[in-house]
């Protein structure tokens, strides 16, 4: 290799090498040796011209000349280059990415990317017994379930070179966290159920110590392994938003997340969809998601985030598998709710929204959780009533919120007042019957948790309607039953798109 000219930027690195503890220095020597062996087998590194291009790209990536010594033999020169990269923050990752640019998908590139992750983990946990943890986690396969857990924790899929639990852990250690809890800590919690019994106590102690040292003990519980993931906590969110000044086209976005205690959904591909084709576009997304979750077991809830123009759209009548001989209503299989795009976007409403939602646990003994509006209760009067009755978390509208109706004004007041669950019926049955139905759903349990189960209770009501009145002739309460259900801690947006920033128009 030809040496790069010395630079002022690299001078301090050569004159004052970074000091390592004895244990970290040993790990560093091991990794430098493994990386040098990997690079020595690379055709790019062995070819002088390709090697010069690699050095040129690496210099650009690191923002200056590399500043390493020219040596006569290839192996010592590689060791010198790797040493320079290891001692610079992010340098080894830059080296791996530059090699990937010139030799994409090769064994050497994959191995170097994996070793770059491992160095980040070794450096981050230098005060802990990394060799023991690596030895333990290297025996555990990176199963599909673990890979999905990582994808949801980091809001991006794990790279294909992660073959063991150690690879997943090292990858998360090299990635930025989206929240206050570092992403590798929930993975250790999840792995506690998979490690051999003889190592379980030590694993828990390490996880507890890491949680304490990172100051997140109050946010995670690592004393016991995580219980099996409950059903009913997988979500598919589908959002519609008007596309500019086009009255007929909507931007359809979607997010999905399998069961996880941390809400970090993965964003799918956006589409531009004409109004007449919204149902078909939803069918396509549902089928794509089902194929993605083919190896999972559990329930899935579908949530439609709707703008004001579509707030009364009969999405609960939409069907899946439209191209089959027997399409079926979504509501026969999924709990289905709608959400308000306006409320999600109106941050000035979020404080009162969160207050009502989080008040559920504190008001379990109160029985005035439901308020049934009347034709005479709208606008300021209804808002005053909801302010006075702060325990109300379910509002039943007196009529369907069609354009310029009392129901529409009641809906706006409910959203602005932070009521998380708002119910109405599109066919306008007896308001009294509707209120009694909703009250029975909430009062079925002894605490406010009955409200959080409303989507499932609504699903059961709709399924009963389809089984008893499949053509809607008797106007079963389940036909036309609409529930707007908004959890303020589970909002779409802010996730990384795994499908790129593409836009697609459905023909």
Helix (H, G, I), strand (E, B) or coil at 218: helix
Question: What pLDDT sits at residue 421?
Answer: 94
Question: What pLDDT sits at residue 278?
Answer: 96
366, with CB counted inside 10 A (0-12, 13-18, 19+), is middle
Q: For the chain, which residues make up each domain, given as ranges? A: 11-124, 137-158+173-219, 234-485
Give the phi and the psi of residue 274 in degrees, each rounded to 5: -65, 150
The tokens for 435 are 């209120």
Which of 334, 304, 347, 381 is CA-nearest to residue 488? 347
DSSP 73: S
User: What is the number of other CB atoms lying within 10 angstroms of the CB of residue 377?
Assistant: 20
* Mean pLDDT split into 10-residue runs, the chain, 507 residues: 37 45 80 90 88 86 70 82 84 88 87 88 86 90 80 71 89 67 83 82 87 79 44 82 84 87 81 95 94 83 95 94 92 94 95 87 64 86 89 92 92 95 85 87 62 89 88 80 93 54 33
Q: Which residues pair with 300 in a beta bridge?
A: 234
Question: What pLDDT sits at residue 11?
Answer: 32
Burial 421-450 (b: 16+ CB within 10 A, else e): bbbbbbeebebeebbebbbebbeeeeebeb
Which of 111, 178, 65, 48 is CA-nearest to residue 493? 178
Distance CA 325, CA 328 (A): 10
* DSSP H or E run through 234: strand 234-242
Residue whose token pair is 């310029």? 404
Question: What pLDDT sits at residue 442?
Answer: 84
Distances (CA, A) of 250 to 189, 240, 272, 314, 505: 41, 6, 6, 16, 10
Question: What pLDDT sits at residue 124?
Answer: 86
């Amino acid at each position: 290799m030809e040496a790069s000219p010395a630079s002022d930027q690299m001078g301090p690195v050569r004159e004052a090498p970074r000091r390592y503890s004895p244990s970290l220095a040993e790990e560093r020597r091991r990794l430098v040796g493994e990386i040098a062996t990997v690079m020595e087998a690379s055709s790019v590194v062995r070819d002088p011209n390709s090697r010069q291009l690699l050095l040129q790209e690496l210099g650009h990536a690191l923002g200056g000349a590399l500043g390493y010594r020219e040596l006569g033999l290839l192996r010592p020169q590689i060791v010198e280059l790797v040493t320079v990269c290891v001692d610079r923050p992010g340098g080894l990752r830059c080296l791996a990415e530059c090699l990937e640019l010139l030799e994409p998908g090769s064994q050497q590139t994959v191995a170097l990317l994996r070793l770059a992750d491992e160095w980040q983990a070794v450096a981050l946990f230098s005060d802990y017994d990394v060799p023991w943890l690596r030895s333990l986690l290297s025996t555990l396969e990176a199963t599909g379930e673990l890979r999905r857990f990582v994808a949801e924790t980091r809001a991006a899929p794990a790279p294909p070179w992660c073959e063991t639990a150690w690879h997943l852990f090292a990858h998360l250690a090299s990635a930025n966290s989206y929240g206050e809890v570092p992403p590798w800590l929930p993975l250790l919690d999840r792995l506690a159920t998979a490690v051999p019994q003889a190592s379980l106590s030590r694993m828990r102690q390490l996880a507890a110590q890491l949680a304490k040292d990172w100051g997140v003990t109050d946010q995670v519980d690592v004393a016991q392994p995580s219980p099996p993931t409950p059903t009913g906590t997988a979500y598919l969110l589908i959002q519609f938003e008007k596309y500019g000044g086009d009255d007929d086209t909507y931007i359809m976005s979607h997010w999905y997340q399998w069961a996880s205690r941390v809400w970090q959904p993965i964003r799918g591909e956006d589409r531009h969809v004409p109004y007449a084709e919204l149902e078909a576009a939803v069918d396509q997304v549902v089928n794509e998601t089902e194929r993605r979750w083919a190896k999972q077991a559990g329930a899935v809830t579908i949530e439609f985030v709707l703008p004001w123009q579509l707030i009364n759209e009969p999405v609960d009548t939409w069907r899946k598998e439209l191209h089959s001989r027997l399409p079926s209503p979504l509501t026969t299989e999924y709990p289905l709710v709608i959400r308000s795009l306006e409320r999600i976007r109106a941050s000035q409403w979020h404080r009162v929204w969160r207050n009502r939602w989080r008040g559920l646990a504190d008001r379990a003994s109160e029985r005035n959780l439901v308020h049934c509006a009347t034709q005479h209760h709208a606008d300021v009067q209804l808002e005053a009533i909801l302010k006075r009755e702060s325990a109300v978390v379910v509002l039943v509208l007196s009529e369907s919120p069609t354009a310029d109706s009392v129901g529409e004004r009641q809906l706006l007041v409910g959203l602005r007042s932070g009521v998380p669950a708002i119910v109405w019926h599109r066919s306008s049955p007896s308001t009294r019957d509707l209120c009694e139905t909703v009250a029975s759903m909430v009062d079925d349990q002894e605490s406010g948790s009955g409200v959080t189960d409303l989507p499932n209770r609504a699903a059961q009501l709709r399924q009963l309607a389809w089984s008893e009145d499949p053509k809607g002739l008797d106007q079963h309460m389940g036909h036309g039953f609409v529930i707007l259900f908004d959890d303020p801690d589970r909002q779409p947006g802010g996730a990384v798109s795994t499908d790129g920033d593409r836009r697609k128009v459905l023909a």
